[in-house]
Amino acid sequence: MNILLTGGAGYIGSHAVVALAAAGHTPIVLDDFSNSHPQVLERLRRLLGVPVRCELGSVADVTRTRALMERHQVHAVIHFAAYKAVGESVSAPLKYYDNNIRGLVRLLQAMDAAGCRNIVFSSSATVYGQGGTMPIAEDAPRGHTNPYGHTKLVCEEILGAVQSSSRAWRVAILRYFNPAGAHVSGLIGEDPGEVPNNLMPYVSQVACGKRPYLVVHGDDYPTPDGTGVRDYIHVEDLAAGHVRAVEVLADSVEGFTINLGTGQGHSVLEVLHTYEEACGREIPYRVGPRRPGDVPTCWADVSRARALLEWRATRTLHDMCVDAWRWQSRNPEGLRRPAPVRPEPATQRLFWPGRTEIPYASPREPRGLAGIGWRPGSAWDWEKSIRWQLRPRLTGEHP
Ligand X SMILES: NC(=O)c1ccc[n+]([C@@H]2O[C@H](COP(=O)([O-])OP(=O)(O)OC[C@H]3O[C@@H](n4cnc5c(N)ncnc54)[C@H](O)[C@@H]3O)[C@@H](O)[C@H]2O)c1
The catalytic site residues sit at 148
Find the shortest distance in angstroms from Cβ 317 to ligand X.
15
CB 176 within 8 A of CB 260: yes
The residue among 95 and 286 lying less far from ligand X, judged by its C-beta, is 95
Give the full edge-to-edge strand order of the sheet including 76-79: 53-56, 26-31, 2-6, 76-79, 118-124, 170-176, 256-260
User: Given the rule CB under 6 A, which of 81-89, 262-270, 279-287, 350-358 is the region that contacts ligand X?
Assistant: 81-89
Query: Nearest Cα to 325, choosing from 233, 179, 236, 203?
Result: 203
Q: In whole angstroms, how close is the CB of 277 to ligand X at the nearest point? A: 23
198 to 237: interface string for ligand X, x by CB under 6 A: x---------------------------------------
- Taking CB atoms, the residue at the shortest distance from ligand X is 10
Our CB check for ligand X shows the closer of 300 and 322 to be: 300
Nearer to ligand X, 33 or 128 (CB): 33
Q: Which of residues 37-76 bind ligand X (CB under 6 A)?
A: 58-60
Does the protein bind ligand X through residue 32 (CB under 6 A)? yes
Distance from the first to the final alpha carbon of the chain: 39
Residues near 190 by Cβ (< 8 Å), separated by ≥ 6?
11, 182, 196, 198, 200, 201, 235, 324, 327
Contact letters for ligand X, residues 139-178 (x by CB under 6 A): -------------------------------------x--
Question: Residue 76's closest CA among 5, 155, 11, 166?
Answer: 5
Binding-site member from 18, 67, 80, 359 for ligand X (CB under 6 A): 80
Which of 82, 162, 243, 258 lies at the binding interface for ligand X (CB under 6 A)? 82
Nearer CB in complex with ligand X: 13/263: 13
Number of residues that bind ligand X (CB under 6 A): 28
Please choose, out of 32-40, 200-208, 303-311, 329-337, the segment that lies near ligand X by the rule CB under 6 A: 32-40
3-state secondary structure of 300: strand
For residue 175, the SS3 value is strand
**Closest listed residue to residue 267, CA positions, set 292, 294, 306, 241:** 294
Nearer to ligand X, 255 or 261 (CB): 261
Shortest Å, Cβ 372 to ligand X: 25
**Beta-strand (E) ranges in the chain?**
2-6, 26-31, 53-56, 76-79, 118-124, 170-176, 178-180, 214-217, 229-230, 232-234, 256-260, 266-267, 285-288, 297-298
User: Stretches 5-13, 271-279, 285-293, 358-366: which one binds ligand X (CB under 6 A)?
Assistant: 5-13
Contact partners, residue 240, CB within 8 Å, separation at least 6: 19, 311
How far apart, in whole angstroms, are the C-alpha atoms of residue 230 and residue 362? 45
- Least distance (Å) between residue 105 CB and ligand X: 12
* Distance separating alpha carbons of residues 278 and 315, to the nearest angstrom: 14
The HSE-up count of residue 56 (CA atoms within 13 Å, CB side) is: 26
Question: Given the complex with ligand X, which of 158 and 167 has the nearer CB atom?
Answer: 158
Residue 137 CB, nearest approach to ligand X (Å): 17
Q: Which residue of 34, 185, 316, 348 would you call a contact of ligand X, by CB under 6 A? A: 34
Interface with ligand X in residues 111-140 (CB under 6 A): 122, 124
- Residues in contact with ligand X by CB under 6 A are 6-7, 9-13, 30-36, 58-60, 80-82, 84, 99, 103, 122, 124, 176, 179, 198
